[in-house]
Amino acid sequence: AQSVTQLDSHVSVSEGTPVLLRCNYSSSYSPSLFWYVQHPNKGLQLLLKYTSAATLVKGINGFEAEFKKSETSFHLTKPSAHMSDAAEYFCVVSEGSSNTGKLIFGQGTTLQVKP
Amino acid sequence: ETGVTQSPTHLIKTRGQQVTLRCSSQSGHNTVSWYQQALGQGPQFIFQYYREEENGRGNFPPRFSGLQFPNYSSELNVNALELDDSALYLCASSNTPGGRTEAFFGQGTRLTVV
């Protein structure tokens, strides 16, 4: 069975400082991994995805994540936080070989960016 | 903004009633998935429709049902509404049903059951 654990429910950083949102996953098969962002009153937007190509994945808005199979982790990072990054972030796993594309979401991490 | 549109944006229903939520998929997408997001939680997979057939279902009771039409738009129907059905319902479309495909989400329908 697949699962996702986001290790922090809330992360607070100052504008201009690095961002680290942590995610561990569990999957019996070759997983696909995603990070989605949800701004208030808006839908989910894909930041980046890993689907068994390069382990360091670059996404939109300066975000990137590294797939570490030995640690079953897929942490999201950004070198310098911007006020507009304040939102809810979800780490998501999908069974790569699945025919259904069912996405398993973590509980979410709220990112607060202080001026 | 994605090309996935959901209607209505907000809805208030009474316990025991029935509700229908609608989703128009992005152009060229033949697969629609529905998710329920309770307050403070991550979205939970309800089911997926591919070429008008149900193609996978999460842990939701049969009173949650759906349809997909020839133009690939979709409906989510919930019968005998319960208070716990209050949530944000999200629709996602993709161009294949598989696990490696990016899903594009609509803005959701906020359902309140009173």
Per-run averaged pLDDT (10 residues), chain A, 115 residues: 92 98 88 92 89 88 94 96 97 77 93 97
Separation in Å, CA of B90 to nearest CA in chain A: 8
- At B33 the pLDDT is 95
Cβ <8 Å between B43 and A104: no
Which chain B residue shows the shortest CA-CA distance from A94?
Answer: B99
Residues of chain B with pLDDT below 50 are none
- Give the distance from residue B35's alpha carbon to the nearest chain A alpha carbon, in angstroms: 9
Q: What confidence score (pLDDT) does residue A53 get?
A: 75
Chain A contacts to B (CB-CB under 8 A): 32, 34, 36, 41-46, 49, 51, 90, 94-108
* Type of residue at B81: L
CA dihedral A23, B3, B20, B53 (to 10 degrees): -80
Residues 6+ positions from B57 with CB-CB distance below 8 Å: B46, B47, B48
**Which token pair is A112?**
């607060």
Residue type, B4: V
Distance CA B2, CA B28 (A): 13
Per-residue confidence (pLDDT) for residue A51, from 0 to 100: 82
Q: Do B98 and A101 touch (CB under 8 A)?
A: yes
Neighbours of B88 (CB within 10 A): 19
Taking an 8 Å cut-off on Cβ atoms, the answer to whether A51 and B31 are in contact is no
For the residues of B2-43, what is the DSSP string, one character each?
A: -S-EEE-SEEEE-TT--EEEEEEPPTT--EEEEEEE-TTS--
Contact residues for B32 (Cβ-Cβ < 8 A; gap 6+): B23, B25, B48, B49, B68, B72, B73, B74, B91, B92, B93
CA-nearest residue to A103 within chain B is B45
Cβ–Cβ gap A96/B99 under 8 Å: yes
> CA–CA distance from A68 to each of A63, A87, A100, B31 (Å)?
17, 25, 25, 30
Tokens of A36: 């989605």
Indicate the pairing of strand A44-50 with strand A31-38.
Answer: antiparallel
Sign, CA dihedral A105-A60-B7-B113, equals positive
Taking the Cβ of residue B98 and every Cβ of chain A, the question of whether any pair is shorter than 8 Å is answered with yes
- State residue B102's pLDDT score: 85
A-chain residue closest to B6, CA distance? A43
Per-residue pLDDT at B2: 62
What residues contact B92, with CB distance under 8 A and at least 6 apart?
A44, A103, B4, B32, B33, B34, B35, B103, B104, B105, B106
Q: What is the pLDDT of residue A97?
A: 61
- Confirm or reject contact between B108 and chain A (CB < 8 A): yes
**CA of A106 vs chain B CAs: smallest distance (Å):** 6
